Amino acid sequence: MTIFPIVLLFIFHTSTAQTWIKAGYWYTGSEFPVPNINSALFTHLICAFAYINPSTHELFLRASDDPYVSNFAATVKKSNPSVIPLLSIWTPNGEYGNNENSSEFLTMTENPSYRKNFIESSIKTARRYGFEGLDLYVTTLLSTTENMNTSNLGVLFDEWRVAVDSEMKKSTNQKKLILTMAGRYSPELNSVNYPVDSVSRSFDWVHVRSYDYHTPLTENFTAAHGALYDPSSHVNTDYGINEWIKRGLAASKLVVGLAYHGYAWTLRDPTNSAIGAPAKGVAITRDGSVSYEYIKKYLRGYGVKPVYNSTYVMNYCEIGSFWIGFDDVEAIRVKVEYAKAKGLVGYNAWQVSNDYNWELSKAAAQEEDKYNNHKRILAITLCTVASIILVLGCIAFYLRKKIISKVNQLMNHRKPSYHNQQVISFSDIREATNNFSEENKLGEGGYGPVYKGKLSNGQEIAVKRLSHSSKQGFEEFKNEVTFATKLQHVNLVKLLGFCTEREEKMLIYEYMPNKSLDFYLFDPSRRLMLNWEKWIDIIEGIIQGLLYLQEYSRLTIVHRDLKASNILLDANMKPKISDFGIAKSVQNKEIEANTDRIVGTYGCVPPEYIKQGIYSQKYDVYSFGILLLQIISGKKNYNVYGPHQNLNLLEYAYVLWKGGRGMEFIDPSLNDAFSRYKLTRCIQVALLCVEEKWTQRPSMLEVSAMLRNEYASVPMPRRPAFSTNKDNEENKNETSEHVYSVDIATISQLVPR
């Protein structure tokens, strides 16, 4: 009869869940009257900005802002008494919009007395003007190039939280101040990170600046400046949110940013108006930023209807030679729905004065209302049909126990055919990993944390434990166990055993002491630990592992997640392919297969899979091509390259190779008189692997032959997948005649109006 407490618990949780945050910025320079804000649409309104005096390190208001800031809290609460006003603090040097350099703020964090002045003055300023919280605007902090020392940031954050808590204890008639942080879309930039642990302890929530990824001052092609997803780049909101969560910030402390503005480009060719079309600069305004209100009026005046793109989740339109990318009602609703599904705590708009008749704010709020109505209906339904749920729950519980029992019996019964794999007890694993201690933790992936351990017989192991918050589960666990029992190769990681006790799904592997390939790949100093001969051995080992999966094993396997972090290195630096959680088995004569579930890693997934759900052996060929380009260059595939910083890794390699400058793409530490031609051939073969059409990519057998045979001619690559430009002349697959030996002007507004 436990179903009734569960129903009551659900109803209680529905009524007492954390408040959904509907926040928005109002900027003092917007000239939008504060009384005109429709505060009923928001739970929190943030007044921007107060500034930090570089001499005293205390908060101050500009004289022109004081009349607005001093009355902001009282004014917005007059129309909506429940709204919570916050004061945002600008941290870059100078005043709003001047630059992205926060060196003065970082200097302040290094001195205890400076920090104290800042903290005390911030609390006093908030109380003086009736604000119920403080917002620290550090979205551009990681872009600072001067005095880039973030070691004391965490100290400041912790001290700020202690001061706020202490003030609350001394006062009995005031609410505790809220502390929030406006951060970059991703917590890391060029190996510099926010102190996420301190951020998590000190701030009530973090709203990420999930927009302004691309602007016409920095890109000479049209782009989705607030892309929720981007199949060819990590510069997107979903990737950033996942990175914050992976670094340790709970989803329940994250707020997604919404942009009430767009950007206008001038097209080079008005007949080409797709996303990624060539452009020649800004349009309409000085920096190309255009408010949603102005965009709507512009569209209405020209009678133009915007196009919605579900791949990136954005809207765009073309007016003559002008191209405008922005978020309309459709995109806003999808992003709010995404935040709900992801377990985030709300949304925050920049800036509310840019809205048009409050259309975007209403759309965002309605999406939340729809979600709440759904919860209420669900709660009522649960109460009404509790008896049915009780019966179904009992049946499901019985069947689940029976299935798990059968699975365990089957695994134990077939244990001899598992090539020395064994069912390992939970207590043995707990002892081996020192009770899953942090000291034993090697890292964490999509499946969950990985721990180093040592069994009682002295054998070192790596334990992959399914996380409760993971989107993966029994299917991935079953895949790993099933494939591991049938796949045995020197270049595949060996699965030693598993554990299903206590509802756990743990996988136990041989321990790889030299970590994964990405540990060396992108770090210049670590790359020097491996000479070209060792890199050749690693490339050859990966090829042999893929050949086994595609040609020589009993099953034909498509790995679907081949990337540097899934190539582990043993004590002799021998590569071993790992993580078969999303792998697929196809029939030997099956050319392609389809799926409705798109999985994999951004930047490593081929276009036919993203667009049509098609996967084949050529999926892994594409991923291998990317990996090969990364190995010979040391470059990441989600950064942009070229003189205009507008080419992804694949297109950058192609442009240099086609122009006869392929060696400019190569990591200089690998280039010597003996490796030059081998490296050039590697570029050419890698580019063949990442061609747009999967039918034109070579097989792994052909890849192996081309890299081994010093006299074989190699086809001329076409422009690779996800290119922003296309070569009209590349209509035929030509054969190479060559034979190689073996083997922005400153933005006026950092956050546009």
Query: pLDDT by residue (tens digit) across 106-123?
Result: 999 999 999 999 999 999
Between CA 442 and CA 561 the distance in angstroms is 20
pLDDT score of 732: 42
pLDDT band at 227 (very low <50, low <70, confident <90, very high): very high
Check: CB of residue 189 under 8 Å from CB of residue 167: no
Q: What is the pLDDT of residues 260-315, one digit of tens each?
A: 999 999 999 999 999 999 999 999 888 999 999 999 998 988 899 999 999 999 99
Helices 359-384 & 329-342 angle (0-180, nearest 10): 40
Which residues have C-beta within 8 Å of that of residue 631, sequence separation ≥ 6?
A: 521, 535, 538, 539
Which residues have C-beta within 8 Å of that of residue 194, sequence separation ≥ 6?
A: 138, 141, 142, 150, 153, 183, 184, 187, 188
Q: Is the pLDDT of residue 178 over 90?
A: yes
Coil/strand/helix, residue 262: strand
The distance between the two most distant Cα atoms of the chain, rounded to a whole number of Å, is: 84
DSSP letter for each residue of 469-489: T-S--HHHHHHHHHHHHH---
Which residues have C-beta within 8 Å of that of residue 81, sequence separation ≥ 6?
A: none
Q: Is the pLDDT of residue 376 over 60?
A: no
pLDDT, greater one: 539 or 648: 539
Q: Is the pLDDT of residue 517 over 60?
A: yes
Between CA 194 and CA 141 the distance in angstroms is 9
Alpha helices in 617-717 (DSSP H): 617-633, 649-658, 676-689, 700-708
Between CA 412 and CA 418 the distance in angstroms is 10
Check: CB of residue 288 under 8 Å from CB of residue 266: no
- The number of beta carbons lying within 10 Å of the beta carbon of residue 430 is 15
pLDDT score of 588: 54
Give the pLDDT mean for 7-35.
72
pLDDT score of 317: 95
Which of 276-285, 310-319, 546-555, 587-596 is least confident?
587-596
Q: Is the pLDDT of residue 454 over 90?
A: yes
pLDDT score of 714: 87
Cis status of the peptide bond prior to 326, with omega within 30 of 0: no
Give the pLDDT mean for 645-656.
90
pLDDT score of 10: 43
Which residues have C-beta within 8 Å of that of residue 683, sequence separation ≥ 6?
A: 629, 632, 653, 657, 662, 665, 666
pLDDT score of 711: 67
Between CA 329 and CA 258 the distance in angstroms is 11
Between CA 515 and CA 506 the distance in angstroms is 19
Burial status of residue 145 (CB atoms within 10 A of its CB: 0-12, 13-18, 19 or more): exposed
Number of Cα atoms under 13 Å in the Cβ half of residue 329:
11
pLDDT band at 191 (very low <50, low <70, confident <90, very high): confident
Between CA 592 and CA 349 the distance in angstroms is 44
pLDDT score of 444: 83
Between CA 725 and CA 658 the distance in angstroms is 14
Q: Is the pLDDT of residue 738 over 90?
A: no
Q: Is the pLDDT of residue 368 over 90?
A: no
Q: What is the pLDDT of residues 381-426, one digit of tens each?
A: 555 666 787 777 777 776 666 655 555 554 444 443 344 457 899 9
Report the catalytic residues: 561
Q: What is the pLDDT of residues 713-727, one digit of tens each?
A: 889 999 998 887 665
DSSP 8-state symbol, 549: I
Which of 50-54, 331-335, 360-364, 579-583 is least confident?
579-583
Backbone angles phi, psi at 448, to 5 degrees: 155, -170
Percent of the chain with pLDDT over 90: 57
Check: CB of residue 83 under 8 Å from CB of residue 26: no
pLDDT score of 423: 86
Q: What is the pLDDT of residues 115-145, one digit of tens each?
A: 999 999 999 999 999 999 999 999 988 888 6
Check: CB of residue 256 under 8 Å from CB of residue 348: yes
Identity of the residue numbered 157: F
| Nearest CA-CA partner of 7 in 392, 390, 394, 370 | 390
Q: First-to-last CA distance in the chain?
A: 57
pLDDT score of 599: 65
Coil/strand/helix, residue 284: coil
pLDDT score of 117: 96
pLDDT band at 15 (very low <50, low <70, confident <90, very high): very low
Which of 22-31, 392-401, 637-646, 651-660 is least confident?
392-401
- Going along the chain from its start, the domains and CATH numbers come out as 21-260+326-373 (3.20.20.80), 419-510 (3.30.200.20), 518-708 (1.10.510.10)
Which of 21-35, 58-72, 462-476, 489-503 is least confident?
462-476
Query: Mean pLDDT of all residues in the chain?
Result: 84
- Reported as type and span, the H/E element at residue 331 is helix 329-342
The length of the chain is: 753
pLDDT score of 172: 66
Name residue 257's beta-bridge partners: 348
Parallel, antiparallel, or unpaired for β 575-577 and 567-569? antiparallel
pLDDT, greater one: 706 or 468: 706
pLDDT band at 595 (very low <50, low <70, confident <90, very high): low
Give the pLDDT mean for 471-484.
77
Between CA 604 and CA 596 the distance in angstroms is 18
Backbone angles phi, psi at 105, to 5 degrees: -65, -40
pLDDT score of 484: 78
Helix, strand, coil abundance in the chain, percent, nearest 5: 40, 20, 40
| Nearest CA-CA partner of 621 in 566, 698, 568, 508 | 698
Alpha helices in 39-184 (DSSP H): 66-79, 103-109, 112-128, 153-170
pLDDT score of 29: 83
Percent of the chain with pLDDT over 70: 83
